[in-house]
Copies of this chain bind each other. A is one copy, B any other.
């Protein structure tokens, strides 16, 4: 089963936007993510609804941040992209009649709930500014890799 990369991609974009002067067009963002502008609009729409970004049409339009990176946590963005299911494994069926299956689901659900709680709690304590700071550290060590170079990710 393949990963849902929306959270990762949006974090990536938001931090780039913070370093970008003026509005970033869907086209520009799509190039950064190696995808296409329609997909960008689709995903960014969620962030706009929650008030993290703003979009403007027409000449000079595009996307801008509505607040500082220190005011956005991983949890915020996770929720804004639609709170995709965290776990890739889960119950085979939601309302099993079989009592064995109920017992199995219950055991798994307990374990997953605990892990999810830990994960989201951690998400809540990491701001995008923290990640940007980590980026600055990496940048200081490898100044050559500053830009995006359009290379993105081949995978």
Residues of A within 8 A of B (CB): 1-9, 11-12, 15-16, 32-33, 74, 78, 84-108, 110-112, 114-116, 118-119, 122-123, 126, 130-132, 134-135, 138-139, 142, 145-146, 148-149, 151-153, 155
Contact = CB atoms under 8 A, between A and B. Distances in A.
Nearest to A8: B92
A91 B8 contact: yes
Given A84-B1, A106-B134, A126-B107, A149 B97 contact: yes
B119 A103 contact: no
23 contacts: A1-B4, A3-B89, A5-B92, A5-B93, A8-B92, A8-B101, A8-B104, A12-B101, A12-B104, A15-B103, A15-B104, A16-B100, A74-B107, A84-B89, A86-B88, A86-B89, A87-B87, A94-B155, A95-B155, A98-B145, A99-B142, A100-B132, A103-B131
> Most chain-B Cβ atoms within 10 A of its Cβ — which of A84, A89, A108, A145?
A89
Given A98-B152, A99-B135, A107-B130, 14 more contacts: A3-B88, A3-B91, A4-B89, A7-B108, A11-B104, A74-B108, A87-B88, A92-B153, A94-B153, A103-B134, A110-B122, A111-B126, A112-B119, A115-B115
Q: Is the interface of A mostly helix, strand, loop or mixed?
A: helix
Which 6 A-B residue pairings sit nearest by Cβ, starting from the closest?
A93-B153, A5-B92, A3-B90, A115-B119, A103-B135, A88-B88
